[in-house]
Homo-oligomer: A and B are copies of this chain.
């Protein structure tokens, strides 16, 4: 792919992801559950994780049906975590992607259930009939996603985050928290896409490094945007972390050092792509650019 083709690649990929989400998140789930699930995941979000899955798969000319399922599954995990995070007992947020949060729209119990059902659905989507995706690949994708979502990944990071509010934190502890809370799922997106191909050990390692670097960079930039952008651009309440006295890269390092940290991580991601020795990493490189150079 040439750099100038990234725009049409990503438009096509996004359209396929939206179509797959709309097909696989069932409107017919009972008693309004499907409505809450669809509200929580459709028609919103930048779909960074699905794009990472598809870009990594395409860099290895991998199994596209498996990658599309992995893309939907990782977005379902991400979206469920936002629904639960926004609930009154967690961040108590009322605005997400410019819309009322799921619990505001549907109530707390339906929101919790919708999140729970979306996590299960992620693993359903990864385990279709074996005529569609080989069983061995299904198992590998489930293993990557479950570990990124669980206690050693996202859920563990959220627990640290919950306990850390109002506490002083060193950069190393902050990094550990974010590698789990946000980084694990972003890295898993890259690795799930890679697993859909047949990466050699060098490419696998390099793509893991790329995923780790952009995973952390994403959070550093999030922390910067939280203090520099208005709510209407973010589509969520700005300044929340500061108000909640949560440790962030900006509060720990200061704004200038946080910006330098984001640039370092961006450079690490690009170096990792060169290390991968893969022929075409244009989409992955452009996605790394977008992680760092964004305004929402």
**A interface residues, Cβ below 8 angstroms from B:** 26, 29-34, 37, 80-81, 84, 87, 89-90, 107-110, 112-113, 115-117, 119-124, 126-127, 130, 135-136, 138-140, 142-143, 145-147, 149-160, 162-164, 180
Contacts and interface: CB of A to CB of B under 8 A. Distances in A.
Contact of A136 (B26, B135, B149, B163): B135
27 contacts: A29-B151, A30-B180, A31-B163, A33-B151, A33-B156, A84-B112, A89-B107, A89-B109, A89-B112, A113-B158, A113-B159, A116-B119, A116-B155, A117-B151, A120-B153, A122-B146, A123-B123, A123-B146, A124-B147, A124-B150, A126-B142, A127-B139, A127-B142, A138-B139, A138-B142, A139-B139, A142-B142
Contacts of A157: 30
Contacts of A154: 120
Contacts of A158: 113
Contacts of A116: 80-81, 84, 115-116, 119, 155
How many copies are assembled? 2
A147 B117 CA distance: 10
A156 B81 CA distance: 19
A81 B115 CA distance: 12
B119 A160 contact: no
A30 B156 contact: yes
A109 B162 contact: yes
A159 B138 CA distance: 28
